[in-house]
Amino acid sequence: MDRPHGNNQTMHDQGETNLSSNGLRLQAKLTLAFVLVGLVGFLLAFQLLPRLILRSWTEEFEAAKGPNAQQLRNRYVAELLASPQPESLRGIADQIVQSSGFDLDGLEIPDLPMDPKAFLSLLSRKNGPEQIEGVRSWFQFLEDRYEFVRIIPYEVPPISEKIHLFHKIIGEGSSEYFLPIMASLSSPDNEFNGVLAVGGSRKVDPLSVTPSSLSSEFSAISMRIANPEEIDFFPAPLIHETNPALYKKALVEKENPYWQERVEGSDTVYQFIPVLDIDKAPFEEGRLLGLFFITYRPPEGVFAWTELASGEGYIAIGVAALFALICSYFFAKGITRPIKTLTSSVTAFADGRLDEPVVVKSRDEIGILAGTFNEMRQRLQTNLKQLRERAKTIESQKEELDEQFKSLQILQNYTENVLASVDSAIFSVDPSGEVRSPNRAAQSLLGLEEGNQIDDSLSETLAERLRTALDIGETTLSEEMNVESPSKEVVPVAVSVTPLKEGGTIIGAVAVLTDLSVIKNLEATVSRQERLAALGQLTAGVAHEVRNPLSIIKACAEILQQNFQGQPGENGLCNDIIEEADRLSRVVTEFLTFARPSEPDRAPLDLNETLNRTIDRIEVSNPEDVIIERDFDPTIPEVEADSDQLEQVLLNLIRNGIEAMDGAGKVVVRSGAEKGDGSVWIEVMDNGAGMDDETRRRVFDPFFTSKAEGTGLGLSICHRILESHGGRIEVRDSKPGVGTTFRMTLPVREREPVG
């Protein structure tokens, strides 16, 4: 009894050793995790700080675009205001307005800059010669003083938003630009809102500039953000020649104060400020004179790294990483100690030692977990005890349930076997109309399968009876109706439908269908036999009463024939009487044969030989247009039958086929054997007129015929002969206009056992 305890102690010691090593591994993992987190943080800082510096510089560049463009425009304004001419020009503009009365109401003024002559022509339409002369003198003064004098009928944007110049082509490929001086010609009393602009001084310091002078003048501007590398001015023709794409872009953006583009594949940024021709109409393509380029080259990443490394940032990060490594070790050790204790208790718990509590003094989540684990251990002890008691109870209940289940299984198997062996079709339906548990007879008779819908699988009448039972609980008892089998055969059945109830609620219905085919056939056979018996008695009496007078009539006719022999005309009448008497005698004989059939003289018989002999007899008098085809199975066994009676049946069937074809067509006679049921068959097929359903149903009835002549007893006699041989005859197939197939079946001759 001590050895198992020793084994448990050994396992416990091994568990303690494993826990110790696992605790060390966990501490190492936590330390490594903290170190990795610190390294990741260091690398993130190492990568992120330079990018933040570059981003801040980039944002400053973006923020400087507007102020830089404004500084350049301010420099342009300063150049204009440095000249003394603007004050004198405003005075002249006021004199022009006062002298002319500035009466321009109703005049159509073109949207193009006008020279003074065109403007005077417009004024003369509204003002007198004296007023026009005064204005002309002021314009003459301006034309003597400036190279360009223009009346601009549209409102020029404020010079603080756009840079405008006058443009003059000096020679091939060279141009000169003039700074414009502008004064308003607006009057409160008129809708005209124009500008008087002059440029290119002739008598004082010229205001002309060149692209190089523009670049040098504006390059001196102190702009924001690392002093842009360069400021250049490029004329529009030069841009059009060297960079057509930029020229198209400039035509689109020329009304904007500035725009910016970045050079693909580098950090270089260009800021473009358009310069417009004041001597052109608004939005005219030639209005663009050129562009100011402000080039920015933001610092590269290496510069940011160097800038950051020059300080103490990385040193501080390194010291912090070392400190984090030391703290990580002690912090990980503080975490793993209670985890190790908790793991030891869990291992003991897994070994089944539920009496060992978990002792953890920390008040953090691990301490809470330890306290919860102790509560769980105590509850588990209580639950385990209860479970063991319940297990005993459940085990005893299980044994009882197993016995009950076996009994139910036996009962179920017995019920299924009973239902499977019953000849009647039995099945149930649920409230939704789905078929449940059809027995073998139901599957064979109706083709039902589990889950079929009654509306889709059953006849309308039967489905209606089931629906009535499901809806109102009505019971149907032995109601006769016809159903269609899977082979499309109409079968008479007796139907009983009973609703299934549970506590007053209808939960389904059960249907029982009894096949009445055998009963109906027996009833028909008995009825036919009774009718044939009565008919036989009647026929025998009639035949006896008829045959004697016929004999006397025939004898008298023969005497008359002898007495009047040789006299013309009389001999023929006697012959007719004798022939008709003979015919009536044959009919009476057929009646007697039908009413009192003779027992067959049975003997072993080869059917194929009988068939050949019968067909040979028929072909002697067979019409030329009728073909009789033979298709015999040479392996069919012998039968025991009366050769003369079978030959009579075959003659009747083949002649009927020839007559049905109206003297032209083909009759096929076939023979064969049924496998497994010990019978042979003969088929006579013709391609004649065929039969409708009514004729097919009555074709074997006595005295029924579709011919103009005949007694209607031929097929009835054939039917009786085959019945007397233990066989049968049936119409296998017949359709109007297609033909008919008769099939005879005879039992195989039973051979006496050898030895």
| Band (521; pLDDT cuts 50, 70, 90) | confident
Give the pLDDT confidence score for residue 582 in this predicted structure: 72
Residue 378: per-residue pLDDT: 74
Residue 744 makes CB contacts below 8 A (sequence gap 6+) with 649, 653, 681, 682, 683, 722, 727, 728, 729
Note the pLDDT of residue 35.
Answer: 66
CATH architecture of 520-592: Orthogonal Bundle (1.10)
Least reliable range by pLDDT among 6-10, 139-143, 347-351, 458-462: 6-10
How far apart CA 477 and CA 483 sit, in angstroms, is 16
Mean pLDDT of 150-176: 76
Do the domains 422-515 and 520-592 sit in the same CATH topology, yes or no? no
CA-wise closest residue to 258 among 66, 77, 62, 74: 66
The 3-class SS string of 479-516 reads EEEEEECCCCCEEEEEEEEEEEEECCEEEEEEEEEEEC
Q: What is the pLDDT of residue 691?
A: 85
In sequence order, the 6+-apart residues with CB closer than 8 A to the CB of 719 are: 700, 729
The token pair at 61 is: 């560049």
Neighbours of 706 (CB within 10 A): 13
Nearest to 220 by CA among 234, 231, 236: 231
Task: Using DSSP bridges, classify how beta strands 626-631 and 476-484 pair: parallel, antiparallel or unpaired.
Answer: unpaired
Of 4-8, 151-155, 402-406, the one with minimum mean pLDDT is: 4-8
Tell me: pLDDT of 340 over 80.
no
Q: Is the sign of the CA dihedral 90, 92, 93, 97 positive or negative?
A: positive
Q: So what's the pLDDT on residue 11?
A: 46
Give the confidence band of 307 by pLDDT, cuts at 50, 70, 90: low
pLDDT-based confidence at residue 421 (cuts at 50, 70, 90): low
Task: Report residue 147 as tokens.
Answer: 């190279």
Q: Which two structure tokens, joined as six digits, stand for 663?
A: 């003297």
pLDDT band at 695 (very low <50, low <70, confident <90, very high): confident
Range from 7-21, 26-40, 151-165, 668-682 that averages highest in pLDDT: 668-682
Q: Which residues are within 8 A (CB) of 567 and not within 5 positions of it... i.e. 6 or more apart?
A: none
**pLDDT tens per residue across span 121-148:** 887 877 777 778 888 888 888 888 888 8
Q: Is 4's pLDDT higher than 50?
A: no
| Separation CA 113–CA 432 (nearest Å) | 94
pLDDT for residue 452: 86
Half-sphere exposure of 718 (CA within 13 A, CB side): 23
Q: What is the mean pLDDT of residues 20-24?
A: 51
Q: What token pair was written down for 718?
A: 């054939």
- pLDDT band at residue 313 under the 50/70/90 scheme: low
What's the confidence (pLDDT) of residue 683?
92
For the ranges 129-133, 288-292, 371-375, the lowest mean pLDDT is seen at 371-375
Query: What tokens were used for 714?
Result: 């031929």
Q: According to the model, what pLDDT value does residue 15 have? A: 47
- The predicted structure's pLDDT at residue 366: 66
Question: Is 197 strand, coil or helix?
Answer: strand
Least confident of 19-28, 426-435, 611-620: 19-28
Residue 254 pLDDT > 70: yes
As a residue count, the chain comes to 755
**Residue 571 pLDDT greater than 60, yes or no:** no
Q: Which residue has the higher pLDDT, 361 or 693?
A: 693
Q: Where are the alpha helices (DSSP H) in 640-704?
A: 643-660, 693-698
Over residues 413-433, mean pLDDT: 76
Q: Give the model's pLDDT for residue 221.
A: 65
pLDDT at residue 670 in the model: 92
CA distances from 498 to 423, 472, 533 (A): 19, 11, 43
Q: What is the average pLDDT score of the chain?
A: 75
What ranges do the domains of the chain cover?
78-300, 422-515, 520-592, 602-747
Is the pLDDT assigned to residue 14 strictly greater than 60?
no
Q: How far apart are CA 205 and CA 83, in angstroms?
A: 9
* CA–CA–CA angle 646, 651, 654 (5° rounding): 120
CATH architecture group of domain 422-515: 2-Layer Sandwich (3.30)
Q: CA-CA distance, 637 to 131, in Å (whole number)?
A: 148
Portion of the chain with pLDDT greater than 90, in percent = 2
Q: Which amino acid is at 35?
A: V
* Superfamily (CATH) of domain 602-747: Histidine kinase-like ATPase, C-terminal domain (3.30.565.10)
- Residue 497 pLDDT exceeds 80: yes
Neighbours of 430 (CB within 10 A): 14
| CA distances for 182 relative to 27, 198, 745, angstroms | 84, 7, 131
Start-to-end CA distance of the chain, whole Å, equals 82
606-643 confidence digits (pLDDT tens): 888 988 888 888 887 777 778 888 999 888 888 888 88
Most confident of 65-74, 298-307, 437-446, 696-705: 437-446
Mean pLDDT across 339-365? 65
